[in-house]
Amino acid sequence: MAMWRIRINLADDPRSRERLSEVLASQRVQAVQLTPRPGTAAELSGDVVLELPRDEALGEMLTALHTISSQVFVSLADDQDNEDDTRREDALVN
C-alpha cells in the first residue's frame, strides 16, 4: 500500500476540523499535524500522512478533502519521510 503525505489549508474553526476528522475517520492515518498558517489569521495548515489500500482511493480522498478546502497538496511519502519530515511536493491539486 502506498503512503501519501497530504497538506491541506483550512479555516481555523471547529467545523472545519470536524469535517477533516470525518474524512480521515475511515482511513489508515499515520499522522496528523495542524499548525497555524504564518501570516494569515484564522487559518490552519494540516499535514496528514496516510496509507491507502488502492490507487483509486487517492482520488476519492482528494475529492473529499476538496469539500473542505480548495488548497490540497499531495506527495508520495515513505518511512524515512515520516521520521525526518523531508518533503517533495509532486502535485498541487486545485
What confidence score (pLDDT) does residue 79 get? Answer: 57
Residue 31 belongs to domain spanning:
2-80
CATH of the domain at 55: 3.30.70.260
Residue 91 in domain: no
User: pLDDT: is 53 or 88 the higher one?
Assistant: 53
Res 15: pLDDT? 93
The residues, ordered by sequence, that sit 6+ positions from 27 with a Cβ below 8 Å of its Cβ are: 50, 51, 52, 61
| Torsion sign across C-alpha atoms 51, 86, 75, 68 | positive
State the burial class of residue 27 (Cβ atoms within 10 Å of its Cβ: 0-12, 13-18, 19+).
middle
Q: Dump pLDDT digits (tens) for 57-69.
A: 889 999 999 999 9
Asked, for residue 88, whether it belongs to a domain, the answer is: no
Domain count, the chain: 1
Stated as kind and residue range, the H or E segment containing 79 is helix 79-84
| Global confidence as pTM | 0.74
Q: Could you give the CA distance from residue 73 to residue 93 in angstroms, rounded to a whole number? A: 6
Q: Report the mean per-residue pLDDT for the chain.
A: 82
